[in-house]
Amino acid sequence: MVDKKIVLQQLAQIGATTSFWGQPELNELPNILIDGEEIQHILNGYYHGGFATLCATNMRLLLIDKKVFFLNLEDIRYDMIAEVDYGHQFMGATIHIRSFSKDLKFQSFKQKELRDFTNFIQKRVMELRGHQVENRQAPIPTSNRSGAIPLQVFETGSTSLTDLQAETLVPMDPAIWQKVNEARRQVNPYAQTPLMIRRRIGRFSNANNK
């Protein structure tokens, strides 16, 4: 929750105009926004539930529908958006936002504002996806692995390794190594049993072949 004065300052910075029809939604914004969240675009229009306000911040996308004894709030994170479509007609424009859990269509008579709104959403989605790809591709520094056992190389001439040497072959946490080490030390009872070979002897077989 933020102060209403901060919300009004943010609206003035982006040049947003307030109207009588969207006043209930604007009054609800201080109760929705969190500290550090900044309004980037805001627009009044219609969705399947009627009149509503669509607000894009630096963190998420908000759909606010405030009526008497009724409040519908939809929160869509940019990293959850799968597809954004835009189209305009002679008397308005439509944005279609598809996420993994929601499907939202929003219409407005302000074509240029809704087009800019769409471009901002697409830009934020691409920025977050590119950042996630870079994080997956970037190697994890060894110094960030807290408690990791360093990888060591031993001479290949030795036929067996001590527990300490085997423990340092795989860089894992000590707690995980203890579980693996216990499983490695378990004795397979079938491996300790002598191998027995049975051969069937016929009635007329030579006794030397037994």
Q: Which amino acid is at 132?
A: Q
Residues 81 and 158 in one domain: no
| pLDDT given at position 150 | 46
For residue 200, which amino acid is it?
R
Strands 50-57 and 60-67: antiparallel
- Sequence-ordered alpha helix ranges (H) in the chain: 4-13, 23-32, 111-137, 163-167, 174-185, 189-192
Residues 173, 79: one domain?
no
DSSP secondary structure letter of residue 145:
S
Closest CA to 33 of 67, 73, 78, 65: 73
Question: 127 to each of 24, 104, 132, how far by Cα in Å?
Answer: 32, 21, 9
| pTM attached to this predicted model | 0.63
Residue 32 CA to residue 22 CA, distance in Å, equals 15
Average pLDDT over residues 8-26: 86
- The total number of structural domains in the chain stands at 2
Average pLDDT, the chain: 77
Domain end call among 97, 113, 136: 136
pLDDT per position as a tens digit, 132-189: 666 666 665 555 554 544 444 444 454 555 666 655 555 555 565 555 555 445 444 4
Residues 82, 153: one domain?
no
Is residue 198 a part of any domain in this protein?
no
Query: Residue 177 carries which side chain, given as an amino acid letter?
Result: W
Residues 18 and 70 in one domain: yes
**Beta carbons of 83 and 99 less than 8 angstroms apart:** no
Average pLDDT over every residue of 16-23 = 79
197 assigned to some structural domain: no
47 is a domain residue:
yes
Tens of pLDDT, residue by residue over 121-137, are 999 999 988 876 666 66
Domain around 169 = 146-188
Helix, strand, coil % (nearest 5) of the chain?
Answer: 35, 25, 35
